[in-house]
């Protein structure tokens, strides 16, 4: 880690206002995972970027090049991009850029539909910011939005707030982002495709921006309508989520089938080039800020068109039940959970992040507590974020040993690297009864079953003890 002894320009400070005389190539509104990573990556690749967010605490942190969340390599990227990247909470500064990216959140409403509030606020702010611009500014929506949002929500709001006309005074494109948390920096610097939805004129402006940005490393690009671009993103996430639910369903079949192991089945089908091995890791289900929200939004959107989209619905149903499978196995193994001490390894929704949004650990812990278990939990990075969402009955510990010591059952929920090297004897020596449920297929069943009472998602109970 490099030393963090400089700071980004915070353009709110009057002494830095001179910097505004220089126009930015791009403004990025909304400095969450997508916005901040995109802003820093564009700046590293040579663009003058201003990152804008209404949250002044977040802006202040970023100005000191401290990432407001845990993401590998992000702080290094903030250091690397320092000379091209400034931040502010004054959204009106967007008016000084030719291209303005919107990367604000589109969370779920309680009925599963997409919340447009933040997007509308951002669009209106942009409208006010570009009011006096004669440069034909281009507004680019990177947020994940249901088809029709650019044309029916964003553009009308900008027109209303600016008094300008779309297509004549300003342009607009849909350009979804596909980065994954945990590898956001790599994904942003090395995208496998660009999807651009807009008119020929607007798409050409954005295309030329990306050609400048990526040069010879320009990824494959599809130029299409805004609705297609918007639907690509939802279909992409729903398809990957479907692959996970599919393999989790096969896992359930394997658990009742002599000598079956879902990992071998996944290897087998993954070798078919038409299917591929990725996103076929059976486990406790998908979580995070994207898949659950986007699959629900697609389901809701499809219903609004009069079609129920049964595969999308089934994807969510399987995912709803999957985390509880771990609790069922624990209950069977321990003959009930009342008063039993259960150790949870891993809380974040996936490794290399401290993000607890829709983390399956929360659902599992709630169920365990409801059944009377005493729960202790460990995570290498997410203890702080977890403390904000978990019942205070859960004992959160920073040492794995303290988590496992005296427990009746351990449940591996998130496959952090540091758990991979744990030997079965480590569990056995600390636990009261050495029952391990491997929710992410991290361990070798043959080795672990010799020492522990080992069960795993997608593994026949007898399989670890039998040679085929
Ligand atoms: C996802 C998409 O991958 C990304 O393209 C999009 O832009 C945002 O949503 P992310 O949520 O960061 O990214 O994580 P991802 O790696 O896709 O994992 C999502 C969830 O699926 C995690 O809970 C993970 O544990 C789970 N998962 C993933 C599985 O259970 N099995 C798998 O084989 C893969």
Q: 230 alpha carbon to ligand 1 midpoint, in Å?
A: 19
> Please, are residues 173 and 206 in contact by the beta-carbon 8 Å criterion?
yes
Distance CA 349, CA 353 (A): 8
Determine whether the shortest distance from the Cβ of 180 to ligand 1 is under 6 A: yes
| CB distance 237 to ligand 1 below 6 Å | yes
**Confidence at residue 24, expressed as pLDDT on a 0 to 100 scale:** 80
12: confidence class by pLDDT, cuts 50, 70, 90: very low
Task: List phi, psi (to 5°) of 42.
Answer: -60, -40
Atom nearest to 280 CA in ligand 1: 33
Report pLDDT for 58. Answer: 96
Say how far apart CA 289 and CA 320 lie, in whole Å. Answer: 15
List residues bridging with 10 in a β-sheet.
87
* Cα 97 to ligand 1 centre (Å): 33
Cα–Cα distance, 47 to 212 (Å, whole number): 9
**Residues 323-337: tens digit of each pLDDT:** 999 999 999 999 999
What is the position in ligand 1's atom list of the atom closest to the CA of 179?
7
Q: Indicate whether 31 pLDDT > 60.
A: yes
- pLDDT for 11 equals 55
The pairing of strands 374-378 and 395-397 is parallel
Out of 237, 250, 276, 288, mutate this one to test ligand 1's pocket (max ligand atoms within 8 Å of CB): namely 288
Instruction: Give the residue among 395, 396, 365 at the shortest CA–CA distance from 383.
Output: 396
> Is 178 close to ligand 1, i.e. is its CB under 6 Å away?
yes
* Residue 451 predicted with pLDDT over 70: yes
| pLDDT over 90 at 18, yes or no | no
Q: Is the pLDDT of residue 359 over 80?
A: yes
Backbone conformation region of residue 346, classed left if phi is above 0, alpha if psi is from -120 to 50, else beta: left
What 3-state DSSP class applies to 275?
Answer: coil
Distance CA 355, CA 99 (A): 30
Q: What percent of the chain has pLDDT over 90?
A: 92
| Whether residue 143 has its Cβ less than 6 Å from ligand 1 | no
Per-chain mean pLDDT for the chain = 93
Q: Which residues contact 136 (CB under 8 A, 6 or more apart)?
A: 98, 169, 170, 171
Q: What are phi and psi of 320, to 5 degrees?
A: -65, -40
Q: What is the pLDDT of residues 408-418, one digit of tens each?
A: 999 999 999 99
Cα-to-centroid distance, 279 and ligand 1 (Å): 8
Answer whether 37's CB lies under 8 Å from 190's CB: no
**pLDDT above 60 for 87:** yes
Rounded Cα–Cα distance for residues 238 and 295 (Å) = 5
Cα(66)–Cα(79) distance, integer angstroms: 9
Whether residue 290 has its Cβ less than 6 Å from ligand 1? yes
Structure tokens at 356: 């607890």
Q: Are strands 341-345 and 374-378 parallel, antiparallel or unpaired?
A: parallel
* Tokens 């522990």 sit on residue: 452
Query: Where residue 296 falls among pLDDT bands split at 50, 70, 90?
Result: very high
pLDDT of residue 132: 85
Instruction: Indicate whether residue 24 lines ligand 1 (CB < 6 A).
Output: no
| Ligand 1 atom 21, closest CA | 286
| Residue 339 token pair | 């008063």
pLDDT band with cut points at 50, 70 and 90 for residue 391: confident
Contact present, 190 and 178 (Cβ < 8 Å):
no
Shortest-distance Cα residue to atom 28 of ligand 1: 279
pLDDT in tens, 200-214: 999 999 999 999 999
């Amino acid at each position: 880690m490099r030393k963090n002894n400089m700071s980004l320009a915070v353009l709110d400070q009057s002494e830095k206002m001179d910097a505004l005389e220089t126009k930015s190539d791009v403004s990025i509104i909304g400095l969450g995972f997508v916005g901040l990573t995109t802003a820093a990556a564009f700046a590293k690749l040579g663009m003058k970027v201003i990152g804008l967010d209404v949250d002044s605490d977040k802006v202040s942190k970023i100005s000191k090049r401290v990432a407001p969340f845990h993401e590998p390599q992000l702080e290094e990227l903030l250091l690397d991009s320092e000379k091209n990247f400034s931040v502010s909470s004054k959204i009106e500064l967007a008016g000084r850029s030719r291209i303005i990216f919107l990367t604000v959140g589109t969370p779920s409403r309680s009925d599963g539909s997409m919340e447009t509030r933040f997007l509308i606020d951002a669009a209106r702010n942009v409208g006010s910011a570009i009011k006096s611009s004669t440069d034909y500014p281009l507004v680019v929506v990177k947020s994940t939005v249901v088809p029709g949002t650019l044309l029916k929500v964003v553009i009308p709001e900008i027109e209303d707030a600016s008094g300008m006309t779309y297509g004549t005074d300003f342009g607009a494109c849909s350009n979804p982002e596909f980065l994954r948390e945990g590898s956001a920096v790599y994904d942003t610097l090395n995208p496998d495709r660009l999807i651009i939805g807009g008119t020929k004129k607007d798409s050409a402006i954005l295309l030329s921006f990306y050609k400048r940005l990526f040069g010879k490393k320009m990824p494959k690009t599809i130029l299409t309508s805004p609705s297609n671009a918007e639907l690509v993103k939802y279909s992409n996430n729903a398809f990957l989520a479907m692959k996970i639910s599919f393999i989790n369903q096969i896992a359930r079949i394997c658990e009742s089938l002599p000598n079956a192991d879902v990992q071998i089945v996944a290897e087998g089908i993954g070798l078919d080039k038409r299917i591929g091995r990725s996103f076929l890791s059976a486990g406790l289900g998908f979580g995070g800020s994207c898949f659950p929200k986007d699959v629900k939004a697609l389901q809701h959107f499809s219903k609004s068109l009069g079609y129920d989209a049964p595969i999308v619905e089934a994807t969510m149903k399987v995912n709803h039940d999957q985390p509880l499978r771990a609790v069922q196995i624990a209950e069977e193994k321990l003959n009930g959970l009342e008063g039993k001490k259960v150790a949870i390894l891993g809380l974040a929704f996936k490794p290399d992040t401290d993000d607890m949004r829709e983390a399956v650990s929360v659902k599992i812990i709630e169920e365990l507590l409801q059944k009377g278990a005493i729960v202790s939990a460990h995570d290498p990075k997410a203890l702080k974020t977890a403390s904000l969402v978990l019942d205070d009955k859960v004992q959160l510990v920073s040492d794995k040993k303290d988590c496992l010591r005296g427990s009746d059952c351990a449940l591996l929920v998130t496959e952090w690297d540091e758990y991979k090297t744990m030997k079965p004897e480590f569990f056995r020596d600390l636990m009261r009864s050495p029952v391990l449920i491997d929710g992410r297929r991290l361990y070798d069943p043959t080795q672990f079953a010799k020492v522990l009472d080992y069960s795993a998602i997608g593994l026949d109970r007898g399989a670890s003890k039998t040679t085929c």
